[in-house]
Amino acid sequence: MQNYLIKNTCIVNEGTQFFGDVFIKNGRIEKIAASISADGNTIEIDGSNQYLLPGVIDDQVHFREPGLTHKATIYTEAKAAVAGGVTSFMEMPNTNPPVFTQALLENKYSIGKESSLANYSFFMGTSNDNLEEILKTNEKKNEVCGVKVFMGSSTGNLLVDNPLILENLFAGSELLIATHCEEERIIKENLTNVLAQNRPLTAADHPIIRDENACFESSFRAVQYAKKYNSRLHILHITTAKELQLFTNMIPLKDKRITAEVCVHHLHFTSNDYAKFGNQIKCNPAIKAPENKTALWEALLDDRLDIIATDHAPHTWAEKQEDYLHAHAGLPLVQHALSLMLYYVQEGKISIEKVVEKMSHAVADCYQIKERGYIREGYHADLVLVNMQQPSTVNKENILYKCGWSPLEGFRFPATITNCFVNGHLVYGNGVFNESKMGMRLQFER
């Protein structure tokens, strides 16, 4: 395997910045030092005027395979991911068929092994009818990222609303339980009320129908289950100020049993943006009023929110152009999430050290991922070089999602992802892919 030496770069890791060299040997970080000399079998990469970051770990993506491959595939979206500095992902079970059995779960791992340029893990799916299959995942707790529960219906409609199933799941799962929290009863009531107004619905109605109360009631219920059974709960894509009271920053992440995340689009857009973007930014849970975005930023910076993710959820352009009620919910984001957060670094909203913490370190800690998420000697060399002096703009020509569009089209980032290493393999370098090696299945220390 090719060895690499990254020279003269600014290394961002564990809350600090320092200049030095990083030597990559046999897929791992062999040495970190102020100066390292290379031998004849090593390729040198000049990291001057660039930042070296640990690869982003995105714990919430929808890559649509199997069954929905007209939208995306594991290959296409993992390729987009590594171009954006995402070296590992965890993918959701609402494919076709949904991942309701151990056989279907392992089928996804087989697809990942054959076609994913990034490292991968897949969530076990839940329904009102597959509790026995779910609990078999306990036997694979070091090989599977977690169990996903839709406590509100979304794309694929894997709604779990049987209280007995939820009780037994929270009591019996030894894995992290990741929840999509929206209260179905409230959503239906809100939709009925809006339809009673006898007017055309638009995307601006989305946060009215899927409102703050729907999110809070469901998140509160998930927290109650987790506290009752001391379950390991991770609530995905928090969108409301009201929900933030459910989380704490008074204990270290490693000691938390209940954690939460925010997604990049909820940090970037508000309900004011529906006028411009319409169904392009329709997603579940909904992008909400500006005061929620303000509260999310505050909670991210003070550590009530633990992780930044994408909830990458591509749909075809035609599927997004349907009328509001039929337009599919979700945004493609995995290629541009790190670049978007670096924009906010430039804006002074967040430090680059905090971005690394929330997109790499904290994800590794939250899921107990083995030997990833940090720039440490002996760890897998999942690394990203970023040039903060080389702006880049999103356009049709450089969008790699299979769906071919982005709500960020035309947006100018202050930085460019120049190089991305996955397990020490330079999979993406200055716009060129090397697809000779695939990523690896993530392992967990539980």
Q: Residues 332, 260: contact at Cβ < 8 Å?
A: no
Q: What is the pLDDT of residue 153?
A: 63
Q: What is the pLDDT of residue 10?
A: 98
Using left for φ > 0, alpha for ψ between -120 and 50, and beta otherwise, residue 197 falls in: alpha
What residue type is 191 in one-letter code?
A: L
Q: Residues 71, 316: contact at Cβ < 8 Å?
A: yes
CB burial of residue 389 (10 Å; 0-12, 13-18, 19+): exposed
Q: What is the pLDDT of residue 376?
A: 98
Which CATH number fits the domain that encloses residue 423? 2.30.40.10
Say yes or no: 326 and 219 in one domain. Answer: yes
Burial 163-200 (b: 16+ CB within 10 A, else e): eebbebbbeebebbbbbbbbbbebbeebbeeeeeeeee
Q: What is the pLDDT of residue 390?
A: 97
Beta-bridge partners for 10: 19, 51
Number of domains making up the chain: 2
Say yes or no: 64 and 134 in one domain. Answer: yes
- Residue range 214-240, pLDDT digits in tens: 999 999 999 999 999 999 999 999 999
Q: Residues 383, 375: contact at Cβ < 8 Å?
A: yes
Domain that holds residue 26: 3-52+381-395+408-433
| Torsion angle of C-alpha atoms 379, 354, 433, 68, degrees rounded to 10 | 100
Say yes or no: 93 and 217 in one domain. Answer: yes
The answer as to whether 446 is a domain residue is no
Of 411, 442, 158, nearest in space to 280 by CA: 411
Say yes or no: 10 and 128 in one domain. Answer: no
- pLDDT at residue 117 greater than cutoff 60: yes
Say yes or no: 261 and 129 in one domain. Answer: yes
Q: What is the pLDDT of residue 109?
A: 98
Separation between Cα atoms, residue 368 and residue 379, nearest integer Å: 14
Give the Cβ contact number of residue 298 at 10 Å.
Answer: 13
- Residue range 348-378, pLDDT digits in tens: 999 999 999 999 999 999 999 999 999 999 9
Name 69's Cβ contacts closer than 8 Å, sequence gap at least 6. none
Q: What is the pLDDT of residue 40?
A: 83
The answer as to whether 43 is a domain residue is yes
The answer as to whether 372 is a domain residue is no
Say yes or no: 70 and 15 in one domain. Answer: no
Say yes or no: 77 and 225 in one domain. Answer: yes
CA atoms within 13 A on the CB side of 258: 23
Instruction: Provide the pLDDT confidence category of residue 38 given band limits of 50, 70 and 90.
Output: confident
Task: For the chain, give the percent of residues with pLDDT over 90.
Answer: 97
The answer as to whether 214 is a domain residue is yes
The answer as to whether 78 is a domain residue is yes
Q: What is the pLDDT of residue 159?
A: 86
Q: What is the pLDDT of residue 158?
A: 80
The answer as to whether 403 is a domain residue is no
The answer as to whether 445 is a domain residue is no
Q: What is the mean pLDDT of the chain?
A: 97
**What Å distances lie between residue 92 and 145, 281, 407, CA to CA?**
10, 20, 22
Q: What is the mean pLDDT of residues 245-251?
A: 97
The answer as to whether 37 is a domain residue is yes
Q: Where are the beta strands (DSSP E) in 248-349?
A: 258-263, 307-309
- Residue range 297-310, pLDDT digits in tens: 999 999 999 999 99
Q: What is the pLDDT of residue 44?
A: 97
- pLDDT at residue 86 greater than cutoff 90: yes
Say yes or no: 385 and 259 in one domain. Answer: no
